[in-house]
């Protein structure tokens, strides 16, 4: 792990410094074939739209698919329609800092990983020429930032992310997970009515049928991308040792080496991860899966079709995925 990365509470300076990590990354549709964003399916990102520029005479080399048949028949000569790419589009980065994110069994907490992913996503959009805004949500509510083409706006957004992250602690009680998630997604609907890139970074705890409905509404008129942050313990519990599970001030120590304790926990974590993946699949939202065991940037490059390597270092503390 990069020594500069804080495993639990990344400071604002760390998030701002991640601008260089966005170099060479893009959320546009022209991705490598190995990318989760590539392909002809409707669930993939469309990228920026095209604005009509002019109707002009055909010249050798023009794309024949842009022939305007009506104009060509009217004037008796081939005419093509030319377009220019939209200069920018609004990008909304929706980042989860609820208590469900305050857990990490290796390397970093989910909340810290989500904060760094939010920073990288914001810088990717900014360096791609887009306006950037976002929503930061925790168990107390949602804070929204209107998209602007401004470094100051990104800094303000990242400051809110760092502040929400710093407020997380094991002493804070959880709130109903579905309320926080769906409230944030409804906020995204209000702030991204159409033609936006909406990047949702969360463990999607509490995802339900209402989540599915809102995601479909968002994806109907926007490009929506999900970044699922999960802890490896959600896929496989350790076979020995003791795990301290916390719920606010309540703590329970579980001997995961005992089969009667280990199997129900493994089933609970695995089923929850599968339910989240199913909701996102049914909503036709492209899904990038990011675990807490590896550094964020190599994983993001892999998911976007780049080649990278990553290593994990052991760390265990906090509350369950």
pLDDT by position in tens, the chain (length 321): 455 689 999 999 999 999 999 988 988 754 554 555 544 333 455 555 555 667 888 888 788 888 999 989 989 999 988 765 555 689 999 999 999 999 888 899 999 999 999 999 999 999 988 999 999 999 999 999 999 999 999 999 999 999 999 999 988 776 666 679 999 999 999 999 888 999 999 999 989 999 999 999 999 989 999 999 998 876 555 555 555 554 444 444 555 555 555 454 455 556 777 888 888 888 889 889 999 999 999 999 988 875 433 333 333 344 445
Reduce the DSSP state of residue 138 to 3 states and report it.
strand
Indicate whether this model's pTM tops 0.85.
no
Which residues, other chains included, contact 271 with Cβ-Cβ below 8 Å and sequence gap of 6+?
none
Q: What is the DSSP letter of 67?
A: B
Q: Quick count: other Cβ atoms within 10 Å of Cβ 88?
A: 16
Measured at the alpha carbon of residue 315, what is the angle toward residues 263 and 25, in degrees to the nearest 5? 105
Measured at the alpha carbon of residue 73, what is the angle toward residues 69 and 79, in degrees to the nearest 5? 55
Q: Pick from 290, 284, 320: which is nearest to 212 by CA?
A: 284
Calpha distance 190→193 (Å, rounded): 6
Cβ–Cβ < 8 Å for 256, 242: yes
């Amino acid at each position: 792990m990069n020594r500069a990365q804080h495993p639990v509470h990344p400071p604002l300076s760390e998030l701002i410094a991640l601008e260089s990590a966005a170099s060479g990354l893009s959320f546009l549709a022209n991705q490598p074939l190995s990318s989760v964003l590539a392909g002809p399916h409707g669930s993939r990102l469309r990228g920026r739209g095209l604005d009509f520029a002019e109707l002009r005479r055909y010249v050798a080399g023009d794309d024949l698919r842009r022939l305007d048949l009506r104009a060509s028949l009217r004037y008796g000569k081939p005419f093509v329609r030319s377009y220019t790419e939209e200069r920018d589009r609004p990008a909304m980065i929706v980042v989860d800092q609820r208590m469900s994110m305050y857990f990490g069994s290796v390397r970093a907490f989910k909340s810290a990983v989500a904060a760094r992913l939010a920073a990288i996503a914001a810088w990717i959009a900014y360096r791609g020429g887009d306006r950037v805004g976002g929503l930061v949500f925790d168990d107390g509510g949602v804070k929204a930032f209107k998209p602007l083409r401004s470094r100051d706006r990104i800094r303000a957004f990242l400051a809110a992310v760092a502040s929400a992250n710093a407020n997380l602690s094991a002493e804070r009680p959880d709130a109903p997970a579905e309320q926080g998630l769906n409230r944030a997604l409804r906020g995204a609907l209000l702030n991204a009515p159409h033609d936006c890139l909406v990047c949702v970074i969360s463990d999607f705890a509490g995802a339900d049928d209402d989540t599915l409905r809102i995601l479909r509404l968002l994806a109907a008129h926007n490009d929506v991308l999900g970044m699922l942050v999960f802890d490896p313990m959600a896929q496989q519990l350790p076979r020995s040792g003791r795990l301290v599970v916390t719920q606010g001030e309540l703590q329970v120590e579980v001997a995961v080496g005992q089969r009667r304790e280990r199997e129900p926990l493994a089933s609970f974590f695995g089923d929850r991860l599968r339910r989240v993946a199913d909701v996102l699949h049914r909503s036709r939202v492209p899904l990038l899966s990011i675990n807490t065991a590896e550094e964020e940037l190599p994983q993001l490059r892999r998911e976007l079709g780049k080649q990278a390597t990553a290593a994990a270092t052991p760390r265990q503390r906090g509350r369950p995925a």
